[in-house]
Structure 1
């Protein structure tokens, strides 16, 4: 067990990798009344093709299995796990993203009991043919509901424009057709491959005794049997550097049209240092120009092109990345052309050293404010840990960032071939 102090942010983190491979992080914060725990596996919707544990040949499972599996984990043969958490005063939830499946709870009492419940239900799968068939109808309704939501259609449509072959283009929940093909055997095969402790992380932050908590976790894990650790072999298709489609327009029953411009990021794995550099600089630059105080935002707003729904987001993962800028707009064509022009002009705009300092200070301030949330810290720590980065050191990494690194990155960042537009117009 190691203890690391982060003097610049006044935090202490306890870490230990258990004998079965499970990585445990404890962030005791005795001044808080609540505790947040998240049990995460490095497995998401993009993991469709892989070599199962103890096998040599690759398989491809139906789209949506990771999300389907997350749903089924809460249902046991004789009880519902949500009810267990509720009886113990905890609020439980779960989510599946492109690269992660996570199970979590928040509570103010019975913390150790809830941690044991979290570990036990995630590590004891139960799937039956009957329950799998029942779940198909439930998730099918969820998929249909999302297909009727303009914001989700714009998000997924933009990604599908950007990526030609990579499974990030597939809706996290899959399709009604794909989930109809999911079997109990698919779920067990994916579970046994990706839910091994050596592919999982447990992060607990809040009001608890760290020594007692670590003892509980070790005792809980040592009482269970797991197959030997093995490297997971994931299979991803080749993906071109340029955006797959330049533009797509659909019609939906909306009162105001919507438009998004997507930027295709890196393809293939980056080393930790390069990954963090890309992540920090993209966030700083887009925030500088497109946040409410930014010059690009002000120009778009003053010309009546955008309203308060305007947003931008960046997603950096190990094997791919993208950014999306979008919102409601009465002039989607003008929105698209102006945002693209603004993005392409960034490399021509010489960011001054004074502007760079403002960018950096704002980013540090936003990060420190967000770190008041234990949920934010836990989720972000796990996200960065997967790519070999210590989230607690990001503030110091921002302070060390050089002006020349930003200006050099900007010159090579965006190319017209990496941009796409997705529009939703009224029927």
Structure 2
């Protein structure tokens, strides 16, 4: 067992790779009544083309299948539901699928070890039949229709569709009604057997618990046949050009004020580990300096009546794709975009404020340290960063080393008009 210590945070993480390939992490939090566990697979909605385990030819599966698979994992061979058992144990459980990851989690104040055993057990017990797959299609179709009626969801995904020409981040995580109705139990088993492979998964546990018992319960609950496990998964993603697909997308919804997402596509991709974490930190600081409430740009837009309090910005980053999005409400969203682009060009010519850089950096450090009071944040962040080959405990060392010059260089590299799109949802 390996022990990773961060003296600044005064936190430690225990790590062990099980014989079957599962990465197990445990962070003790003495005095915390709540405990948290998250079991995740490095598999999300972007993984549409791959070579299944035991085969030698690439296949393409239906869009939305990772999310569909997550839904189906709760149905058990005995007719029970995994959520029901969690409920009887008095714990709160959930699951989610995003572009790159599927995760199953629970938080508990009691019955933790029994709940951990149950979590591992049901995630390694798939049960798909023609009947239960058909039944699920109707449920997920309703969910998709609900999202299709949500202006927030549409303004965001239209922004991604405008930025990306080929990359599957432009595809809705849940797929379409047409695509999910083509999913079969055989296709689900192929995806499950390939990606729900412990060598492609990680477990993170956090709380006031005994490390030896956490590892022991995890080992006993794992029942995979080690000899049948594939160590490497061949995945294929379409080549993505640097250019955006379209500069503007407008859709009409029954709303009172237009909503917008302004996206900047990032072409500095294909990196992982500490290099990727540094890029994320640098860009987060830059985005904060430019767009946070209280910034000059925000105040100018607000005083002109072009935005309201529903204004914000963020940077989203994975190994193979990344983008920044500025979102808000405005009666003149195109004017907002125009002013933002002018402001960015002015900042490139005249330079950013070094004092603002130091303030923003200091605030980011404080926010990060405070987040370690949340076991949900610790679990979710640690496991998602693990799949990017990042140790989140490296965050403070890297952010302290970030220079003002890096921020100015990143401004010139990332915020370019040619890679900028706008998605607008306006009143019917």
Question: What range describes the TM-score normalised by the shorter chain of this pair?
Answer: over 0.9
TM-score between both structures, scaled by the size of structure 1: 0.97
1:250 aligns with 251
1:33-88 Cα offsets, whole Å, 9 max, x none, are 01011001000000001111121110000000000000000011320000000001
> d(CA) in 2 for partners of 1:62 and 1:229?
22
Q: CA contact under 8 A between 2:282 and 2:402: conserved in structure 1?
A: no
> d(CA) in 2 for partners of 1:12 and 1:168?
34
SS state of the match for residue 423, structure 1?
strand
Q: What root-mean-square deviation, in Å, do the aligned CA atoms of Structure 1 and Structure 2 show?
A: 1.3
1:65 aligns with 65
1:131 aligns with 132
1:282 aligns with 283
2:124 pairs with 1:100:
no
Label 1:243 to 1:349 Cα distance change in 2 as closer, same or farther (>3 A).
Answer: farther
1:70-109 Cα offsets, whole Å, 9 max, x none, are 0000011320000000001111000000000000001100
2:396 pairs with 1:395:
yes
SS state of the match for residue 408, structure 2?
helix
> d(CA) in 1 for partners of 2:64 and 2:230?
26
Label 1:146 to 1:116 Cα distance change in 2 as closer, same or farther (>3 A).
Answer: same
SS state of the match for residue 348, structure 2?
coil
TM-score between both structures, scaled by the size of structure 2: 0.97
Compute the displacement of 1:212 (Å): 1.1
2:49 aligns with 49
1:375-402 Cα offsets, whole Å, 9 max, x none, are 1111111122112211012012111222
2:16 pairs with 1:16:
yes
> d(CA) in 1 for partners of 2:268 and 2:62?
23
Q: CA contact under 8 A between 1:20 and 1:229: conserved in structure 2?
A: no
Label 1:344 to 1:38 Cα distance change in 2 as closer, same or farther (>3 A).
Answer: farther
1:270-294 Cα offsets, whole Å, 9 max, x none, are 1423312221111101111211121
Between the two proteins, the alignment pairs up a number of residues equal to 426
Unaligned runs of 5+ in 1: none
Q: CA contact under 8 A between 2:260 and 2:329: conserved in structure 1?
A: yes
1:84-135 Cα offsets, whole Å, 9 max, x none, are 0000111100000000000000110010000000000001100010000000
> d(CA) in 1 for partners of 2:185 and 2:98?
21
SS state of the match for residue 310, structure 2?
coil
> d(CA) in 1 for partners of 2:341 and 2:311?
15
1:246-297 Cα offsets, whole Å, 9 max, x none, are 0011111111111111010136411423312221111101111211121111
1:397-426 Cα offsets, whole Å, 9 max, x none, are 111222332233223222211100111111
> d(CA) in 2 for partners of 1:349 and 1:21?
52
1:28-427 matches, cutoff 5 A: 28-77=28-77, 78-221=79-222, 223-226=223-226, 227-266=228-267, 268-427=269-428
Q: Which moved more, 1:362-371 or 1:340-349?
A: 340-349
Unaligned runs of 5+ in 2: none
